[in-house]
Amino acid sequence: MLDDVIEQPTVVTDGLDHLHELREFARAELPALQKRQIALEERLRELLIPRDPNDEKNVILEIRAGTGGDEASLFAGELLRMYTRYAQEHGWKVETLSLSDTGLGGVKEVIALISGRGAYSRLKFEGGVHRVQRVPATEASGRIHTSAVTVAVMPEADEVEVKINEEKDLRIDVMRASGPGGQSVNTTDSAVRITHLPTGMVIVCRDEKSQHKNKARALKILRARLLEKARSEQEAKIAEVRRSMVGTGDRSERIRTYNFPQSRVTDHRINLTIHRLDQVLDGALDPVIDALAAHERQSGLSAGAEVSR
């Protein structure tokens, strides 16, 4: 009995030591747990941001030479190559729907279908004016010229999304396709021009020898443009409402500059500069697109926080 009384303080001391160890362990774990809590809360807020319903769709990509003459056409061709390489790196398929080239390696206008999971979620940031600064090969004095190319990125529209009444809404004209002499494409009326009467949109496809294929391509492009028109009108309404709530500043139409003398690519929307021009033009666009996607997510989080106040 006496021995039990004598040993009791030792048992109490061991218990206190154990509690002290637990307290120190918890104190050591707290910083990591707090960081994890912050990360989980941010991830939860991201999941609450409405997802773009078009993210998983294929892309209708339109590239057109703007100001700058032949130099703009040459750069349009380089942008087409850049997006083609980027698509290949992601396992997407690229199909040219319509092409008007200059014969000197340049492109006046090209429309392409990029098919693959998540294509629109990545390429949707590319729409806008792309500016190039470099010394043209024909410039004897070595002066830097500035040219511009416009890029339009539209989700491919499903037939159920854009309803077209071919009898009432469309005027379809068949024309003699033009091309180098001797080709069979010259001997048939295979080119197709579709006019969407309600909007006045005109689509011409002449690249295929089959009238049926040209019509199908023209309708594909028309549906994408009609869907983009509807989306733009809806986004304009949403932007107007948001401006009235939180305000916004004017933003230049130019989204990106490719400066060859400095081997620099600058995205003006997020003030991002990368000094790896050759790699970007070879399809290494992920660093730029990742930054733009992160900025979009952050903007969504900020907008959600403003609405919840």
Give per-residue pLDDT as tens, 183-199. Answer: 444 456 788 999 999 88
> Do 19 and 119 lie in a common domain?
no
Q: In this structure, is residue 38 part of a structural domain?
A: yes
Cβ neighbors of 123 (< 8 A, separation 6 or more) are 59, 61, 83, 114, 153
pLDDT at res. 96: 92
User: Are residues 158 and 259 located together in one domain of the fold?
Assistant: yes
Name the region of 279 (left: φ>0; alpha: ψ -120 to 50; beta: rest): alpha
Long-range contacts of 85-88 (CB under 8 A, 24+ apart): 85/282, 85/283, 86/283, 86/284, 86/285, 87/114, 87/116, 87/119, 88/283
Among the ranges given (83-87, 161-165, 196-200), the one the predictor scored with the smallest mean pLDDT: 161-165
- Residue 251 — pLDDT band, cuts 50, 70, 90? very low
Q: Is the pLDDT of residue 182 over 50?
A: no
Q: Which range, of 5-14, 61-70, 123-132, 214-223, averages the lowest pLDDT? A: 5-14
Residues 264 and 295 both lie in one domain? yes
- Among 68-82, 153-167, 261-275, whose mean pLDDT is lowest? 153-167
pLDDT-based confidence at 252, cuts 50/70/90?
A: very low
Q: Please tell me whether residues 150 and 77 are part of one structural domain.
A: yes
pLDDT at 260 over 70: yes
Residue 3 forms part of a structural domain:
yes
**Residue 197 vs residue 29, higher pLDDT:** 197
Write down the number of H helices and E strands in the chain.
Answer: 7, 11
For the cut 80, the answer to whether the pLDDT of residue 44 exceeds it is no
Q: Are residues 3 and 148 in the same domain?
A: no
Q: What letter would DSSP give residue 157? A: P
Would the pLDDT of 278 be above 90?
yes
Tell me the pLDDT of the chain averaged across its residues: 80
Per the model's pLDDT, the better-predicted residue between 253 and 245 turns out to be 253
Q: Kindly give, in sequence order, each residue whose CB lies less than 8 Å from that of residue 139, ignoring residues fewer than 6 positions away.
A: 145
What is the arithmetic mean of pLDDT over 68-95? 94
pLDDT top residue among 218 and 142: 218
**The domain boundary residue, chosen from 48, 67, 86:** 48
Pick the range with the lowest mean pLDDT from 128-142, 177-191, 200-214, 223-237: 177-191
Structural domains in the chain (count): 2
Same domain, 44 and 63: no
> Is position 135 within any domain?
yes
pLDDT score, position 6: 47
35/64 same-domain check: no
Q: How confident is the model at residue 42 (pLDDT cuts 50, 70, 90)?
A: low
Supply φ then ψ for residue 308, to 5 degrees: -80, -10
Decide: 107 and 232 in contact? Cβ < 8 Å.
Answer: no
Tell me, yes or no, whether 37 lies in a domain: yes
Residue 300: what pLDDT? 67
- The verdict on 127 and 275 lying in the same domain is yes
pLDDT of residue 32: 79
Q: Work out the average pLDDT over 235-240.
A: 64
Per-residue confidence band for 5, with pLDDT thresholds at 50, 70 and 90: very low
Domain shared by 73 and 35, yes or no: no
Mark whether 68 and 116 lie in a shared domain.
yes
pLDDT of 49 > 70? The answer is no
Between CA 240 and CA 47 the distance in angstroms is 25
Q: What is the pTM of this model?
A: 0.66
The parent domain of residue 5 ranges over 1-48
Residue 20 lies in a domain: yes
**Residue 92 exposed, middle or buried by CB count within 10 Å (0-12, 13-18, 19+):** buried
Same domain, 156 and 66: yes
CATH number at residue 289: 3.30.70.1660
User: Model confidence at 45, in pLDDT bands (50, 70, 90)?
Assistant: low
Pick from 33-37, 259-263, 266-270, 286-290: least confident? 33-37
User: Is 82 contained in some domain?
Assistant: yes
Q: Give a yes or no: residue 9 inside a domain.
A: yes
Assess whether pLDDT exceeds 80 at residue 302.
no
Kindly state whether residue 108 falls inside one of the protein's structural domains.
yes
Residue 133 has pLDDT above 50, yes or no: yes
Does residue 2 have a pLDDT over 60? no
**One domain, residues 150 and 63:** yes
